[in-house]
């Protein structure tokens, strides 16, 4: 069964060339085209492509704005950004908003098709040549939030309160909502990084697991202590 594609690019020659290239083998079908972001969003109300090929630089509404609009709509369409921009900043912005793939227009046709099939199959595809720079940027960006060997200021406050004998039930009244928010943020950010960087960068993945382990052990012991007030709290 052919994969249905929608192409959004402001250059008609590029759209036509992509259409002819992708439909050559019969396993991909272009069901719609758009020349700008506004037209793309409008046509997505009618057409249901499996994958949306999306350029970044377009008139009226650029690709990043389209991504934000799709996120606000809670759209389930899989998005493959196809662009000339090899700067990591654009890739980072797209990843932060939410994409399924990112490929440069200078890529070989085989790589573009591989990206389409990978995304249609429910996986993420980032052009391999961009991953080292993305890896470095994402680790740098999150190093203040995802500290490996240090607890946050609030976590240290909890430990100090426990050290002076303040029981978990008392702390829980003040911390319950904040605790759940912190746990969710830490694990959601870690999971997103794992998906993007994937298994080929095991060093980064190992670093993230260290973070998850440190924070998970800390919070698990805290939560467990909330229900066993009579027992002393074991600090890591």
Instruction: Looking at the structure, tell me whether residues 148 and 185 fall in a common domain.
Output: yes
Cα gap 104→111, rounded to integer Å: 10
Q: Do both 16 and 114 map to the same domain?
A: yes
pLDDT computed for residue 205 by the predictor: 46
Are 112 and 82 a contacting pair, CB within 8 Å? yes
**Are residues 11 and 125 both part of a single domain?**
yes
- Mark whether 181 and 97 lie in a shared domain: no
CA–CA separation, 27 and 33 (whole Å)? 18
| Residues 197 and 204 sit within 8 Å (Cβ to Cβ) | yes
Residue 65: the pLDDT is 95
Residues of the chain with pLDDT under 70: 138-236
The number of distinct structural domains making up the chain is 2
In-domain check, residue 135:
no
Cα(53)–Cα(80) distance, rounded to whole angstroms? 5
Backbone torsion region of residue 26, taken as left when φ is above 0, otherwise alpha when ψ lies between -120 and 50, otherwise beta? left
Which residues share a beta bridge with 6? 32, 52
The candidate with the shortest Cα–Cα distance to 62, out of 95, 96, 39, 31, is 39
Given this model, what pLDDT does residue 15 score?
A: 94
Domain residues for the domain of 158 are 143-226
Q: State the CATH number of the domain containing residue 44.
A: 3.40.50.2300
Say if 134 falls within a structural domain. Answer: no
Is residue 91 in some structural domain? yes
What pLDDT is stored for residue 200 in this prediction?
43
Last residue in a domain, options 129, 153, 186: 129
Query: Is there a single domain that holds both residue 12 and residue 106?
Result: yes
List Cα–Cα distances, 199 to 56, 92, 195, 196, in angstroms: 28, 19, 9, 9
Same domain flag for 8 and 92 = yes
| Residue 131: per-residue pLDDT | 82
Write the pLDDT tens digit of every residue in 102-145: 999 988 999 999 999 999 999 999 888 888 877 777 666 666 55
Whether residues 107 and 19 share a domain: the answer is yes
């Amino acid at each position: 069964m052919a994969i249905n594609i929608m192409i959004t690019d402001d250059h008609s020659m590029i759209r036509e060339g992509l259409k002819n290239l992708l439909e050559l083998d019969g396993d991909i079908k272009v069901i719609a085209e758009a020349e700008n972001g506004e037209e793309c969003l409008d046509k997505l109300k009618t057409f249901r492509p499996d994958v949306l090929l999306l350029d970044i630089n377009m008139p009226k509404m650029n690709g990043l704005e389209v991504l934000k609009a799709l996120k606000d709509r809670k759209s389930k369409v899989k998005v493959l950004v196809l662009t000339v921009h090899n700067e990591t900043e654009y890739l980072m912005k797209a990843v932060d908003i939410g994409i399924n793939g990112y490929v440069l227009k200078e890529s070989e046709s085989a790589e573009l098709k591989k990206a389409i099939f990978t995304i249609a199959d429910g996986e993420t595809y980032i052009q391999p040549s961009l991953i080292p720079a993305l890896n470095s940027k994402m680790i740098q960006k999150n190093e203040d939030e995802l500290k490996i060997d240090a607890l946050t200021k609030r976590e240290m406050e909890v430990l100090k309160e426990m050290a002076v004998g303040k029981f978990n039930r008392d702390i829980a009244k003040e911390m319950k909502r904040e605790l759940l928010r912190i746990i969710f943020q830490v694990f959601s950010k870690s999971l997103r990084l794992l998906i993007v960087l994937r298994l080929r960068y095991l060093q980064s993945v190992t670093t993230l697991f260290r973070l998850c382990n440190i924070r998970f052990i800390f919070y698990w012991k805290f939560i467990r202590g909330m229900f066993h007030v009579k027992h002393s709290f074991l600090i890591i």
